[in-house]
Amino acid sequence: MDHNFNDENNLPSRKADHVKLVIEEDTGIDRVSNGFENFKIIPSAIPEVDYREINMATSFLDFEFKAPIMIAGMTGGYPEAEKINKKLASICNEVGIPMGVGSQRAMIKNKNMIPTYDVKKHFEDLFLVGNLGLVQFNYDFGINEYNECVEQIDANAMALHVNAFQELCQPEGDLNFSDLWKELETLCEKSKVPIIGKEVGSGIGIEDVKKFEQVGCSAIDVGGAGGTSWAKIELMRYDGEGSPPFELNDPTLKWGIPTAYATWEASGNTNLELISTGGMYHGLDAAKALAMGTNMVGVARPVLQELVNNGEKSALKWIENYIETIKRVMFLMGVDSIETLRTQKNKLIPMNDAYFWVNSRKNKL
């Protein structure tokens, strides 16, 4: 089954719409947080560490990085995205962290869009994560298209995102999600690079974490609720045309597991490496995610906003301050390395809603 003609023609404008909405509009859901405010850290009265000696280096998928942060995949597939991704790549290259790109479907449909993703031609040492929607493999994508996405941008890993709620809300949405675990298993068997199973705002519960591990993924991005809602963005795109499946005030938009809860469930209960994304707007939240055991924290919207509104230097400064905030929290905890921070789950106390979530899910872990 092929995608409809209008969808193919609208891909570049849809990608541009997404970025414009992320930068200019409130794309979160009212009273939905990432959940980290419900976890309190037990402080260390005498930290017993030298702040200057705290080591922020870490490893992920057998590569070494200067900090446990990545700029998560956001854009590509329309002309203006080339400059945005190049500047984001420059920031990642400067700081020594990984970078993701947005969905590469647009470059398969239009080869002229390949340069909007191909940032390693400028920064050959950059660790780059490619990106495709898993549901596309129930339509007109196969292993050849997958390999092209890897090879054309020299990706070090591939994120295969699952976005059922976004597709449900999208005017051009693809809703055939049948047999996708088998498709994912086949791709994992044939892929030349590690595959990351990635959610985009609904979170991944431990039941599905175990399935991602069973089919052969190397890592997962828990992509929890509490940050940018792609479902809301798609509903905003209707702009008076057609009949959206939900109104913007529909309680269903609160769907999903907060990032903190998804991170807590996965950490220590899988051999997969973990990325925590979804509303990770402050270094304190990142420090808590790392203390839970995550390997990487992904940030997106605030970096993009800073870049577009204030320039590359300002976006670089934002990232550097974010990393420094993690370091400050580590000092207050008495932790001298990221490796040690990732063993501090017992210093996090679940409060309020998190307490009830953690205790009600114990039998699933």
pLDDT in tens, 44-91: 999 999 999 999 999 999 999 999 999 999 999 999 999 999 999 999
Query: Is residue 168 very low, low, confident or very high in pLDDT (cuts 50, 70, 90)?
Result: very high
What pLDDT score does 11 carry?
76
Q: Count CB neighbours of 242 within 10 A.
A: 9
Mean pLDDT over each residue of the chain, to the nearest integer: 95
pLDDT in tens, 91-147: 999 999 999 999 999 999 999 999 999 999 999 999 999 999 999 999 999 999 999
What pLDDT score does 8 carry?
59
What pLDDT score does 240 carry?
67
Query: Is residue 364 very low, low, confident or very high in pLDDT (cuts 50, 70, 90)?
Result: confident
CA distance 271 to 291: 17
CA distance 129 to 156: 6
- Provide the token pair at 226: 């509490």
Domain extent listing, the chain: 5-364
Q: CA angle at residue 11 from 200 to 195, to 5 degrees?
A: 40
Please list, in sequence order, all residues whose beta carbon lies within 8 angstroms of the beta carbon of residue 155, skipping any fewer than 6 positions away: 128, 129, 130, 149, 193
What pLDDT score does 1 carry?
32
What pLDDT score does 15 carry?
82
The secondary structure of residue 43, as a DSSP letter, is P
- Provide the token pair at 83: 């400059």
- Provide CATH code, domain 5-364: 3.20.20.70
The answer to whether the beta carbons of residues 259 and 229 sit under 8 Å apart is no
What pLDDT score does 7 carry?
58
Pairing of strands 219-221, 195-199: parallel
Indicate if the pLDDT at residue 36 is higher than 90. Answer: yes
DSSP readout, 116-185?
A: GT--TTT-TT--EEEEEEGGGGGTT--HHHHHHHHHHHT-SEEEEEE-HHHHHHSTT-----TTHHHHHH
The secondary structure of residue 318, as a DSSP letter, is H
pLDDT in tens, 249-286: 999 999 999 999 999 999 999 999 999 999 999 999 99
The answer to whether the beta carbons of residues 280 and 34 sit under 8 Å apart is yes
Burial 11-28 (b: 16+ CB within 10 A, else e): bbebbbbbbebbeeeebb
